Amino acid sequence: MQRSASRTAPYLFLSPFVLSFLIFGAYPIIRSMILSLYITSGPEAQHFVGLGNYRYLLQDPDFWTAFRNTATFAVGSVVLQLPLSLGLAILLNRHDIRGRNVFRFIFFSPNLMGLVFSALLFMLILAPKFGLLNAGLHALFGLPLTTRWLSTPALVMPALILVALWLYTGFNMVYFLAALQGVDTELYEAATIDGAGRWAQFWHVTLPGIKPVLIFVVVLSTIGSFQLFELAFLLLGNSSGPDQAGLTIVMYLYQNGFLGGDLGYAAAIGWTLAGMVLILAIVQLRLTGAGREER
């Protein structure tokens, strides 16, 4: 009797997680996959179209606009954020910086604010005439105070990248700080004895030492960038912006599924996005050689 109880105990402890995963994880995934094969009008009316939603998606100009905007945001964010995050981490990892813990907190603190607060804050900062950004650019470069960042199509994406830079640079800095503290200091001493300068030490000691974390942050940032929705939606006043300049893939999914009522097409957009992110992650891992050292 006691042996039987000891055998069933692990299953009893695991059962809440398994049940929760089946109900809230596995079922929605399978259901959305099936739903992507239907045209729907609300939750009740459904018409089976097979892969029709996916074929239509390939010819849908709005989807490609959303893809172009999302890819631009992802490239801009990753290219600007990660070098800045790494630079801050290297600077604040130095022991001769006084108050470095305070600076670490200051740079990380934007991530503690919610997206709604951040959007409201930047609606004021980016505002024409009295916005802080326009005032700074006017003082430094003489640019006009009336620049409309959120209502000029060409400026919408730079504005979104700027807000994301403020939000997530400090967040990624924490990853790099943790990685830098794991690099053996004796390697720097040996490199100095060999006559290596700062750039050579960075290239041959620092980068190899933090490579696993660097790859992780690149993949994580790319996936996060492709999921952009709330920030753009709030900043652009619950819309896709002028000439759809702020339309992202997730926003297009939301418009079709929750505003248009076609949950099947929205599910097809979602699965297409998942496939894109998976391919991108695999390509990034292949290009960076992640996992080869362990073989």
pLDDT (mean) for 16-26: 91
Q: Which residue has the tokens 């996936």?
A: 223
**Does residue 293 sit within a domain?**
no
Is position 261 within any domain? Answer: yes
* pTM (two decimals): 0.85
Label residue 144 by pLDDT band (50, 70, 90). Answer: confident
Q: For the chain, what is the domain count?
A: 1
In a domain, 55, yes or no: no
Domain assignment present for residue 53? The answer is no
- Residue that is written with structure tokens 């009797």 in the block: 1
- What's the CATH number where 214 sits? 1.10.3720.10
What is d(CA 207, CA 176) in angstroms, rounded to the nearest whole number?
11
pLDDT tens digits for range 267-283: 999 999 999 999 988 88
Question: For the stretch 159-169, what's the b/e string if a residue is b when 16 or more beta carbons lie within 10 angstroms of its beta carbon?
Answer: bbbbbbbbbbb
23 in a domain, yes or no?
no
CA dihedral 236, 60, 282, 280 (to 10 degrees): -30
In a domain, 109, yes or no: yes
Higher pLDDT, 157 or 98: 157
Q: Which helix (DSSP H) or strand (DSSP E) does residue 112 occupy?
A: none
Position 290 confidence tier, pLDDT thresholds 50, 70, 90? low
Whether 121 maps to a domain, the answer reads yes
Q: Which domain holds residue 162?
A: 60-288
Is 12 inside a domain boundary?
Answer: no
